[in-house]
Structure 1
Amino acid sequence: MDAIDLLERHHRELEDKFSGLKKASSVDPDQFSTAADLLAIHITIEEQHFYPAVRARRTEDILLESLEEHLSLKRVLADLLAIDTTDEKFGPKLHVLAEQLEHHHKEEEEHLFPKVKKLLDDGARAELGETMQGRMGELRQGEPRKLVLGQTGAAAPLP
Structure 2
Amino acid sequence: MNPVAERITPSITTMIRMDHSQVLAVFHRYKPDVLPAKKRALITNACLSIEIHAQLEEEIFYPALREVLTGDEVLEKSEPEHEQMRTLIGELRGLMGRDGPTDEAACDEKFFALMRLVMHHVADEETRLLPAAERLLRDQLGRLGIEMTKRRLELMKPHAAEFAESTVRSFPAGAAAGAALLTAGAVAVGAMLFARNTKRTSENRMSRWRH
TM-score, normalization: structure 2? 0.63
Q: Does 1:127 align with 2:143?
A: yes
Match of 2:49 in 1: 38
**Structure 1 pair 17/83, CA: closer, same or farther in 2 (3 Å)?**
same
Q: How many residues are paired up?
A: 144
Match of 1:12 in 2: 21
Match of 1:101 in 2: 118
Structure showing the higher helix proportion among its residues: 2
Higher relative contact order (CA 8 A, sep 6+): 1
Q: Deviations over 1:86-114 (max 9, x none)?
A: 41200011011011111100000111111
Contact 2:47 2:89 in 1 (8 A): yes
**Structure 1 pair 3/59, CA: closer, same or farther in 2 (3 Å)?**
farther
Contact 2:74 2:129 in 1 (8 A): yes
Superposed counterparts of 1:131-142, under 5 Å: 131-142=147-158
CA positional deviation for 1:59: 5.7
Q: Does 1:91 align with 2:91?
A: no
TM-score, normalization: structure 1? 0.82
Unaligned runs of 5+ in 2: 1-9, 163-211
Identity of matched residues, %: 25
CA positional deviation for 1:78: 1.0
Quote the RMSD (CA, aligned, Å): 2.0
Give SS of 2:30's match: helix
**Structure 1 pair 24/10, CA: closer, same or farther in 2 (3 Å)?**
farther
Q: Select which of 44, 69, 87 maps to 1:75.
A: 87
Q: Considering only CA atoms, is the larger Rg found in Structure 1 or Structure 2?
A: 2
